[in-house]
Structure formats: C-alpha cells, structure tokens
Structure 1
C-alpha cells in the first residue's frame, strides 16, 4: 500500500464539524434528562430522599451498555460502517423515549413508567454516545485528537444549551409552566418532544455526511502508527479465582450491612454489582482457561484487567470528576428551589420558577463549556500541557460548587456556573484526547467503553450511598451535597498529576 494511504488524512473544519455534529443532538437528550428528570419525578410524587433511587437507572444502563457496544462496534462492518449503525439505532430509541416520557401521567403507575423511560433514554443515548467517542479516534490522525475532542466538546456544550434552555424559552413564548397536581407542565412536554426531533436530525447528519475507513484501511493505519495489540484473554487465563471471590464477598458484606446498619435500600444495588463483577470475572477466567478466547465476556473482562497504565490513572480522575457531576444533576433543582426560591411545594409558582432557573443555570455552564472548549482549553494546554490544564479547570469548578453552599442570590449563581462550565469542558475533552493518542486503534471502542465504567461507578455510588449519608447527617438539607461535589473535584485535580508519569514521552 502506498505510504500516503497509511496515514490518516487531516480533516478540515468541515470534516471535524461533520464527525461530531451528531453529539449536538445526543447532548440535547442528556441535557433534557439532567435538568428535568428530578423535576418530573418530584412532580409525579417522589420525595427528595427517593430521587437517588429513581436516578440509579441512568448510570446502571451506561455501565452495562457501553462496554458491550464498544466491544461490538470494534468488530462491526456493514453498509453503514463501523460506528454509524450504533449512532442510528441509539438515535431512534432515544427519540422514542423522549416522546413517551411526558406521557407518564397517562399510565397506571406514572412514577414507575417515568423511571422506565429514563432507563430506556439513558441506554439509548449510550448506544450512540460510546461509538461517537471512538469515532473521533477512528477518523483523525493523532495530532488532531485534541482538536477533534475540542470540537466534540463544543457541540456537547451547544447541545446542552439548547436542551437546558428549552423549558425557560417556551415559557417566554407563553407556554404554560404549571400543571395540575400529578401532571407535567407543557413547557417540559414540548421540550422533550422538540428535543427528540432535534436529536434524531443531528445524528442523521453525521451518518449522512461521513464515510468511515474500512477495516483494511484501519489495519494499514495501525501498522504504520502502533505496535501489535496485546492479547488480554491469554493474560486472563493465568489469573486466580481469588480476586473474584473477594469481590463476591465484598458484595455480600455490603448487602448484609444494609439491614444491620439501617442503610438506604439503594445500597443493596451497590452490593449486588460488586458480587456480580466477581461472578463475571470468575466466568471470564474459566472461559479463558478453556481456550475460548473469541467470546465477548472474556474479551471484555480481559481488556478491563489489562488496561494500559495511563488509562488506570485517568480512571481515578474520572471517578471523582463524575461523582461531583452526578451530585449536581440530582441535587441542583432541590437546592435552588429550596434555598434560593424558598419552596419545596412542586405545585407552587415559586418552585417551578426555581426549577426553570436551574435550566438557565445549566444553560450557562454548558455555554461556557462550548466556548472554553474552542478557546480556553487549546490556549491553556499549549502553555501548561493537557495534564495541568485539567487540574486547573477542575479546581475552578470546585470553587463554583462552593458558591452553592453560601450564595442565596439566583443571579450570582451564574458566576458559579462559569467555573463549573470550564471544568465540564475539560472533563469532556482532556481525558479522551490523552486516551485516544495512547490506546491501540483496534481496541479503541472497547477501551472507550470500559473507560465509561469510571464514569458510571461513581454515579452509582452517589445514587446508592449519598442517600444514606444525607439521611443520617443532613436530613432535608440537600445543600450539603454541593460541599461533597467541591471536595470530589479537588481530589480529582490532585489525582490528575499522577497521569503525567504514565504518558510516553
């Protein structure tokens, strides 16, 4: 093959735009979910203490879906390509969930139906999102990875702005922001329906305007740029069953502690997940020892056990980064409505005014993220490097969370969102740019999917453990969750400094 064909062509701005435009639509879906689901659940009768349990569906689906989709997409090639079949399937299912969500009150168990739709929505968004992460690595040369993820982050921010501002904007147009007890306001209904249409159209744009490299072309690129991939299944066969047994024991201990220590029932899920990982690990080892290296389970478990060192160190950063984000998504509405607007009554005008202001706050941090991704992050990373850039941004975000603890002025909270938005931009760009440049191309999908474990696990911990902590120490006082969020981002900023040593010079 000609040497020129062994290097990925550089993409111009139009190419970068087309590759990532679908993420604009995906993030509209995530923004509608993040800014409105606590409001929907409370409107349908959920208490503040029950919110984490209802939200647990979202991260759990990501934990299950992303590694599987990553593994499958690495091995897919058909008329649509390698990643694009998953873009399309996820977009169709996401649009369906967004259409059905506002119809929850019409069903016999509206709260249960809304939770089921959240499960479907998050699973579907993850089906599209995970391949989009790998898609940037597939389509771009190494020296364009940072630019590619910066453009993707800008679209994430722009999509989140649109999704977050929908209810507030519709209210300005005269759409009703109040509903009868047990109903969902028209502003939320039309936001979900319009968001579903926008999501589908944006993803379709990327599908239509891009053409993926064939497996033969990708193999040529890999031959020119990287060493032969490792065989983690062989390494898995040499592992002991002791580790799996310890995970099972830890899971059982957690489940027993729920009754003994009177913990919240959601902690049972955490114990079950620990035990399930131990069981899956044991099965994967057994299959690997039998020489059955082609099965998906052993491949995923083997890749997880054999993660590159840079990915392991970034995993710790992700863990604390996303713990704070999930705290924010669950608790911003209760905090703002209770402490700034002075109401916990979901049928009151003050509560709904506060809930709409949360959409404005989320719009600001996402708008800041879109601008920071294209302006601040490239400038800062050229001067202090990607590692230090991420640490600085996380520290600014921690300052934003601290403002929620002390500030009671709605307008002043916009300043807090500036710091949070800068950190959000960095979280979406810096770790993925570092990973894409230091992972084997043939396994980019599965590694990006496994990296999501460290996005999901902290969210599950927040959804299961945070409720018990708040009930025990701060009942009815959700504002203290923001202090936990600030501490998490400060720890992540410090942990980021360990990543530098794992990046090949």
Structure 2
C-alpha cells in the first residue's frame, strides 16, 4: 500500500490517498506492510518468468529442438524486451488515468501474460511454443518495466535500495515456487510427469503453468488495488508534454535521443550489465538440459531419467532463489557499510566461480552448494545496478531511462540467441554444461568491469551539474 501523502482515505484504510505535495521532505517512509503490498505483484510476474526459465528449454526439446537450435527459439525473450521496454517506459512516463500512471500497463500486461501461460502447455509444435513465448514475453515486459519505475516514483530516496531489495525478495519467492512446482506436483501430489506421443509435455509442467497464470494475475491485482499513485502537480503541463513525447512514434524518437545522452554512470554500468546477462542467459537456457544430460546421463528426452534431471534442475533453481531472499534483506545493511559497488563485485565473482566449478561436479546433490554462489549474484543483479542507476538519472525521465537500461540486458541475450547456436555446434560440440561454464566466465568479466563504475558521491555531483545545465523547463512529477 503506497502512503505518499499526509492522510489516508477515510473510506478504505488499506488504500493510501496521495497528497499533492511531492517535495522530497514530504514523502513519508513506507512501513513493511506497505512495501509488501507495493511489491507483491512482482512475485506473480517473477513466477511467470520462473516457469519460463526453468521449463522452456525442456519444452523445446520435448517438441524436437536440438541443442544448437535452442538459442534462436529464445529470441523472443530479449527481442520483445528491446522493443517493448523503452516504449512502455516512455508511455508510462507520460500517462495519467483514473488508475494512475504505471498501474494500467502493469494490469494489462498481467492479463495477457496469464492467457499465454494457460496456452503454453497445449503447444504441439515448436512454432506454436515459440510464438506463445513472444506473446508471454511482450506481456510480462509490459508489466515489469513500469514496476521498476513504480519504486522510484513512490519511495523516498533513503528507501529505494530497500524497495528494490524487496523486489528481489519477490523475485526469489516467485522463482522458488515456480521452479519447485513441477517436482512438488510429481512427488507429493502424484501428478503424472511421463511423456510420450500422446503427451509431449508432462502434466506436472502443464498444471504448473495453469497455477502460474492464476498467481500472476491475482498478485498484480492486489498491488493495483492497494497501492495508489500520486498525480502530477501540474496536469495541464503534463498533458502538453504527453502530446509532445508520449506517443509510440515519439517514444522511439525520444528513446533514440535519450540513448545518446546517457549519464556516465549509466554508460559504465551498461558494460557490466552486458557481461552479467551474457552469463545469466547462458545459465538459464542450458542449465536444465545440462543437468538432465551431463549430470544424470539421460540420452532419450522421453526417458524417466531425463524428466528427473529437469525436475532436479528446478530444485537447483529453487535453491539459488532461496539464497536470494535472505541475502536481499541483508543488501541494504551491507551496502551502507561496504558500498554498493564493492558488494556487487563480490557477488558477481561468487556467481561466476560457482558456475565454473560445475565442470568438476558429477553427483546431483553437489549442484546445490554451487547454486548458493549463483544466488548471491542473482540477488545483487536484481537490485544493486538499479539502485546505483537511480542516483544518476533525472527524476522526470526515470521511466524511459529504466527502459533503455534494460537494453543492456536484452542486447546480450539477442547476441546469444542469434550467435550461440553456431558456437554450440562448432566449438562446444553441443555440450550444454560447457555453455553454462562459459556463462560463469562472463560473470567474472562483469565483476572486473564494475571496478570502473563511479562511486555514489561522484554520481550525485555529476547529476547536480547535469541538472544545472538543463535549459528546457522540466515537469516536476511524483518521482522527486
């Protein structure tokens, strides 16, 4: 529940009524319950992502995909992010409706993504699965990008790291549940996980997607109904700027213009993000089949051994996300004492070396300790770059800059989707485990590049200088 003003609604004490005073000194800190209400929708979004990450590669293999064709089938995920995120970010910057600024996009994305989750397990061919992945990723991105700006809009500066850390908690909770669900349905509820000509995708996976659709939609609805947004203080000026910058065509034009005006901190963080997500994407698309084939020794994708390997990989996903939750609570305390930059370097190194160590693992249970190190990197990647970036951005352009920042997640993923199949076939001999280990090396490189990111004190000084040089009057909005 967002409480951004001086008073609550007398009709409904669970919904905050925002004040029109948007100055930093009048922004009240959120309590734990308000942060929970504000962030719970992110749990549903991440449940959908978690199902996709843990199961799509195996779904593709069940439908006949080879190891070197899997990356191109994942192209939908990064390409939709590249096209959708900056446009939705800019549109939400210049939107005001009775439902607010960000919430209309969050809600519409949830409705469409939930429908895609319901339909995904019914696919009978690769082209159907790939097509639905386009719809799912477009919809999930429509919800996710405004959610990132939502935190900056509503929270006072001193709570933003805590707010992004809470989102990391939701990432962990959603992904843990999504990753474990097929195993739980199979082993505790006796849902059939066998496959064959008449049942290409296991029933345990099918029901997991159905449950995920319901959770995605219900948690987003909870956030939308319990968290109010603050209207811009000057709606006439806001509408004028919307006419100038708020359309889809204007969004692309504005994105191109803003891309050339990135603050130095954002530019250097971009290189860190590129190598971070090269590593993470290699892990996500190849780890489940690597466990099934390299660790469990499965050869036939219709065998029980293969399905056991995929389910065990889901448990591994649950472990690294379980690490993410308590560590996310520690992040604000650690960053205050050590600094965001140093903590992120340490976490990236832990994740990188944990993936490299998989080369020496032969027993399935030994995968679990390695997931602890990757969990530290995952938690940090979900929170610290965004917290660092927030201090370097002009407040009235936060949405579009957040969308552009996600370029440096999706561009390396597009590179993997388009080029990694050739690398798998000609250099790595379709060895899925080697691809995961290569991802660990990318994380180590990202840690080295993080050394060159400016400290927070330098960011604030640079931002103040930049703001003093702005000649066009800016709209002061609720993100101050």
Check if 1:403 corresponds to 2:420. no
Say whether 1:77 aligns with 2:32: no
Q: Which residue of 1 aligns with 2:195?
A: 179
TM-score (norm 1): 0.82
Contact 2:359 2:433 in 1 (8 A): yes
The residue aligned with 2:258 is: 303
* Structure 1 stretches of at least 4 aligned residues deviating more than 3 Å after TM superposition: 1-7, 217-220
Are 1:447 and 2:463 matched, yes or no? no
Query: Which one of 462, 477, 483 corresponds to residue 437 of structure 2?
Result: 483
Q: How big is the shift at 1:326?
A: 0.6
Unaligned runs of 5+ in 1: 221-228, 234-291
Q: Does 1:114 align with 2:114?
A: no
CA shift, 1:382, in A, is: 2.2
Deviation at 1:3, TM superposition (A): 8.7
After superposition, residues 251-290 of structure 1 pair within 5 angstroms as none
TM-score for the superposition, normalised by structure 2: 0.87
Could you tell me whether the CA contact under 8 Å between 2:107 and 2:221 is conserved in 1? Answer: yes
For 1:178, what is the secondary structure of its paired residue? Answer: coil
Taking the aligned partners of 1:217 and 1:482, their CA distance within structure 2 comes to 51
In structure 1, the residue matched to 2:328 is 373
Deviation for aligned residue 1:219: 12
CA distance in 1, matches of 2:141, 2:279: 20
Alignment match, 1:17: 36
3-state SS of paired residue (1:503) = helix
1:293–1:321: structure 2 CA closer, same or farther, 3 Å change rule?
Answer: closer
Residue deviations 1:14-40 (CA, integer Å, cap 9, x gap): 111111110000000000000000011
Aligned length: 433
Match of 1:393 in 2: 347
1:253 maps to which residue? none
Of 446, 459, 479 in structure 2, the residue corresponding to residue 503 of structure 1 is 459
Match of 2:146 in 1: 131
Q: Is structure 2 residue 185 aligned with structure 1 residue 166?
A: no
Contact 2:76 2:134 (8 Å CA) reproduced: yes
- Structure 1 contact 405–482 (Cα < 8 Å) conserved: no
1:205 is displaced (CA, Å) by 0.6
| Inter-partner Cα distance in structure 2 for 1:203 and 1:168 | 26
Q: Residue 293 and residue 358 in structure 1: after superposition, are their counterparts in 2 closer, same or farther (change >3 A)? A: closer
Matched with 2:425 is 471
Tell me by how many angstroms 1:53 deviates. Answer: 1.1
Alignment of 1:291-440 (within 5 A): 295-375=250-330, 377-440=331-394
SS at match of 2:302: coil
Q: Which runs of 5+ in 2 are unaligned?
A: 1-19, 462-480
Distance 1:26 1:44 in 2: 26
Please tell me the root mean square deviation across aligned C-alpha atoms, in Å: 2.3
- Residues 307 and 158 of structure 1: is their aligned pair in 2 closer, same or farther, counting only changes over 3 Å? same
3-state DSSP class of the match of 2:68? helix
CA offset digits 1:443-485 (Å, max 9, x no partner) = 1110000000000001111112222122112213222112311
> 1:300, 1:42 → 2: CA distance?
37
| Equivalent position SS for 1:144 | helix
Which whole-Å CA distance do the structure 2 matches of 1:180 and 1:472 have between them?
Answer: 31
1:150 deviates by 0.6
In structure 2, the partner of 1:54 is: 73
Cα 1:390/1:217, change in 2 over 3 Å: farther
Q: Against the structure 1 CA distance between its residues 5 and 407, is the aligned structure 2 distance closer, same or farther, given a 3 Å change threshold?
A: closer
Within 1, Cα distance between the matches of 2:434 and 2:52? 23
